């Protein structure tokens, strides 16, 4: 009996142990399944149940002018969100929210009636509205901070800067062109919930591996020059009753755009009150017949090819010249006899220009127009640039050759015109126009700087010099067509233009709708500033020398009065530079040489150079350069001109600082 009991106990114990072992193995297996095999899926499920994620709009870098003036910045604004599942009384809530935010109540009601956990009600509201929303303390309604693009100067430079959409992505202008550069990686906002779905807290989630900061952009634009250009252009458009206007200021030696203005303007802070025509950058996107401002490129080509000389006399047919079935007449019914080539420009003779084109021949003429950049995009770093229209030369008739000579039958852009005129000012060298000088990181350390780019040598320096003197007579002579652009104590060169607009409804050039223009540069001896002014359909004073030339003069005079421009040197010396962001810049004719000329008389001047330029110049002068900082050289020790000692060491400080 005892033996049976003991046997039974052993069996029971073994059975229990087996059961426990099976249960333990099952438990371990289940744990392995949950923790390892299904761990990621279950974790994701838990996160979906207890957290909610929202991708926030990314921040954007700052856009500066060349002096450090902030033209586009990001500020934090409140946006209103809703969790419809937590709203108790949707009728009352929709009415209350609609009243605070000035929204349609039915629209709000429709949004919060949908059974979901999140919806936007209003983006980037005013601070006053945010205070009211917060004070209302409505269950299911909450505020989230979002970056909002803000343009401190309102209308100023709007066509250059462009604007962003509700998703903080660039839609026009530089905001669009450099959207990927300016925009940071989006951040995510997470809600953590309890078991009942109640929000416990919010947190921002941003993986370091995904971190991508937007860069700041530094422009070639000087906001002060931009302001005075826009002011004078707006006044001229109003005074002449014009449909609109364009003005560009360019450094002919580097291609830097110092100002670019369109009239009429728009406010990038609130574009909803404007149409796409208002924010169209006509300076680069619109094409037009240039009129007589095209004549300098013809004469330059003819001089370069030596088919004419400045003193050659051309019979201008007393005001009427027949070519095939077309009769060419002088503007304003003028009657010229014999004019020298110089006088053809001075008095803007259409017939004289047509005869010069005949001497040059259409093949050579077309070749030079292409070399000046017509018929192709300049490559300026702005969106929407047009190529203009320069028809294949094999399709030119004799009439075409004659009319293109005085700017009719060819389509150009404003940026092409100022670039081509700048080539004449720049000893025949065509520079690529550009608007962005460089990029900096969030701490304003220089990331990349753009240097001027030579496109090609279009005409020889000798021909360019002859053209400068001829264009100077257009302005500085008492009987020149551009005399109203003359600036006291400064030699100005330029050319007027009055172009008939083509009437597509009648398929003829209009007799009353014109586009008047003037473009020129100064000082003639050492051109530093080139300016183009165009007025579209002025109702009074429809001649370029009367309507557009005075605008050039006003802009030029005010630039000379407000900025210290040393007309004897090859650079602009700027005073009263704002202290936010110090950007020292040079305006060397050929920066690719990096100023390597050796100077054995004393310590070289490194001020205004980049680190790369300074190092090359130091090497050329056998100077041991000690570099501090980033950006552009702002000071050095010893000072420039200090007699060189035996150790030939110089410490140079570079800055891009707030």
Higher-pLDDT residue of 561 and 227 is 227
Which one of 55-69, 562-576, 594-608 scores highest in mean pLDDT? 55-69
Encode pLDDT of 124-176 as tens digits. Answer: 888 888 888 888 888 888 888 888 899 999 999 999 999 998 788 899 999 99
pLDDT the model gives residue 615: 84
Choosing from 292, 348, 366, 422, the catalytic residue is 292
Distances (CA, A) of 350 to 208, 292, 320, 407, 482: 67, 8, 10, 9, 16
How buried is 98 (Cβ within 10 angstroms: 0-12 exposed, 13-18 middle, 19+ buried)?
middle
Confidence of residue 584 (pLDDT cuts 50, 70, 90): very low
pLDDT of 227 above 70 = yes
* pLDDT over 60 at 656, yes or no: no
pLDDT band for 312, please (50, 70, 90 cuts).
very high
At residue 592, does pLDDT exceed 80? no
Confidence of residue 576 (pLDDT cuts 50, 70, 90): very low
Contact in structure between 436 and 414 (CB atoms under 8 Å): no
Cα separation, 550 vs 553, whole angstroms: 5
What local confidence, expressed as pLDDT, does residue 482 receive?
Answer: 93
The top-scoring range by mean pLDDT among 46-60, 532-546, 574-588 is: 532-546
- The per-residue DSSP string of 266-305 comes to --TT-GGGS-TTTS--HHHH--B--GGGGHHHHHHHHHHT
The band of 457, judged by pLDDT with boundaries at 50, 70 and 90, is very high
Mean of pLDDT values over 183-208? 54
Lowest mean pLDDT among 207-211, 391-395, 542-546, 557-561: 207-211
Listing DSSP states for 336-373 in one string gives --EEEHHHHHHTT-HHHHHHHHHHH-HHHHHHHHHHTT
Model confidence band, residue 637 (pLDDT cutoffs 50, 70, 90): confident
Q: What is the DSSP letter of 185?
A: P
What single string gives the DSSP state of each residue in 414-447?
HHHHHHHHHHHHTTTEEE--BSEEEEE-TT--EE
CA 435 from centroid of its chain's CA atoms: 5
> Average pLDDT, stretch 491-519?
86
pLDDT at 123 over 90: no
DSSP H helices in 526-620 = 544-547, 549-562, 611-620
> Using one digit for the tens of pLDDT, what is the confidence trace for 347-391?
999 999 999 999 999 999 999 999 999 999 999 999 999 999 999
Average pLDDT value for residue range 407-415: 95
Average pLDDT of the residues in 292-298: 96
Q: Which pLDDT belongs to residue 163?
A: 93
pLDDT value at residue 150: 92
The tens digit of pLDDT for each residue in 468-496 reads 999 999 999 999 999 999 998 899 999 99
Residue 567 has a pLDDT of: 44
- pLDDT, one tens digit per residue, over 255-268 is 999 999 999 889 99
Provide, rounded to the nearest whole percent, the portion of the chain with pLDDT above 70: 81
Q: Give per-residue pLDDT as tens, 63-75.
A: 999 988 999 998 8
What per-residue string of b and e applies to 118-138 under the rule 16 or more CB within 10 Å gives b?
ebebbbbbeeebbebbeeeeb
Q: With 50 as the cut, is the pLDDT of residue 441 above it?
A: yes
User: Which pLDDT belongs to residue 184?
Assistant: 79
Of the ranges 44-53, 155-164, 310-319, which one carries the lowest mean pLDDT score? 44-53
- pLDDT tens per residue, range 599-611: 456 888 888 777 7
pLDDT confidence of 2, banded at 50, 70, 90? low
State yes or no: pLDDT of 327 exceeds 50: yes
Is 29 marked active-site?
Answer: no
Give the CB-side neighbour count of residue 542, counting CA atoms within 13 A: 16
> Greater confidence, 646 or 603?
603
d(CA 79, CA 608): 44
């Amino acid at each position: 009996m005892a033996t049976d009991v003991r046997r039974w106990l052993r069996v029971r114990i073994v059975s229990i142990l087996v059961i426990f072992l099976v249960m333990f193995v099952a438990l371990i297996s289940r744990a392995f399944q949950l923790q390892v095999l299904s761990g990621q899926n279950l974790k994701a499920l838990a996160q979906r149940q207890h957290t909610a994620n929202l991708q926030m709009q990314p921040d954007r870098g700052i856009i500066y002018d060349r002096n450090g003036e902030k033209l586009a910045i990001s500020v934090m604004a409140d946006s209103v969100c809703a969790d419809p599942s937590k709203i108790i009384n949707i009728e009352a809530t929709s009415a209350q929210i609609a009243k605070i935010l000035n929204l349609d109540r039915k629209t709000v009601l429709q949004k919060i009636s949908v059974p979901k956990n999140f919806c936007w009600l209003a983006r980037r509201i005013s601070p006053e509205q945010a205070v009211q929303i917060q004070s209302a303390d409505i269950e299911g309604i909450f505020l989230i901070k979002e970056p909002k693009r803000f343009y401190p100067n309102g209308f100023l430079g709007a066509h250059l800067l462009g604007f962003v959409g509700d998703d903080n992505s660039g839609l026009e202008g530089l905001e669009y062109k450099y959207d990927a550069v300016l925009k940071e990686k989006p951040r995510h906002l997470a809600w953590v919930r309890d078991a009942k779905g109640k929000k416990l807290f919010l947190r921002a989630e941003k993986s370091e591996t995904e971190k991508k900061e937007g860069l700041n952009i530094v422009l070639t634009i000087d906001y002060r020059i931009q302001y005075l250009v826009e002011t004078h252009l707006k006044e001229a458009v109003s005074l002449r009753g014009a449909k609109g206007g364009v003005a560009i200021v360019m450094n002919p030696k580097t291609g830097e755009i110092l100002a670019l203005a369109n009239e009429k303007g728009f406010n990038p802070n609130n574009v909803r009150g404007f149409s796409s025509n208002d924010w169209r950058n006509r300076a680069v996107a619109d094409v037009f017949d240039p009129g007589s401002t095209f004549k300098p490129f013809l004469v330059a080509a003819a001089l370069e090819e030596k088919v004419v000389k400045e003193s050659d006399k051309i019979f201008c047919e007393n005001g009427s010249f027949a070519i095939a079935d077309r009769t060419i007449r002088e503007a304003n019914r003028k009657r010229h006899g014999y004019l020298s080539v110089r006088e053809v420009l001075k008095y803007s003779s259409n017939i004289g220009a047509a005869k010069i084109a005949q001497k040059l021949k259409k093949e050579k003429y077309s070749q030079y127009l292409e070399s000046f950049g017509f018929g192709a995009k300049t490559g300026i770093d702005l969106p929407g640039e047009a190529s203009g229209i320069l028809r294949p030369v094999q399709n030119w008739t004799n009439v075409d050759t004659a009319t293109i000579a005085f700017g009719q039958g060819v389509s150009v852009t404003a940026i092409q015109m100022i670039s081509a005129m700048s080539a004449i000012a720049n000893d025949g060298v065509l520079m690529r126009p550009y608007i962005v000088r460089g990029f900096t990181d969030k701490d304003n350390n220089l990331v990349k700087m753009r240097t001027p780019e030579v496109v090609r040598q279009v005409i020889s320096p000798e021909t360019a010099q002859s053209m400068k003197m001829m264009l100077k007579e257009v302005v500085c002579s008492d009987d020149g067509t551009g005399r109203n652009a003359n600036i006291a104590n400064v030699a100005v060169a330029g050319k007027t233009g009055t172009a008939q607009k083509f009437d597509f409804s009648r398929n003829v050039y209009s007799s009353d709708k014109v586009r008047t223009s003037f473009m020129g540069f100064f000082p003639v001896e050492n051109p530093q500033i080139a300016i183009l002014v165009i007025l579209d359909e002025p109702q009074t004073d429809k001649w370029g020398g009367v309507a557009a030339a005075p605008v050039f003069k006003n802009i030029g005079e005010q630039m000379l009065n407000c900025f210290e421009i040393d007309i004897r040197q090859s650079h602009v010396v700027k005073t009263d530079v704002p202290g936010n962001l110090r950007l020292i810049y040079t305006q060397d004719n050929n920066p690719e040489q990096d100023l390597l000329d050796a100077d054995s008389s004393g310590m070289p001047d490194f001020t205004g150079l980049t680190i790369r330029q300074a190092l090359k110049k130091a090497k050329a002068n056998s100077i041991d350069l000690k570099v501090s900082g980033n950006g552009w050289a702002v000071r050095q020790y010893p000072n420039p001109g200090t007699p060189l000692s035996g150790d030939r060491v110089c410490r140079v400080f570079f800055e891009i600082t707030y």
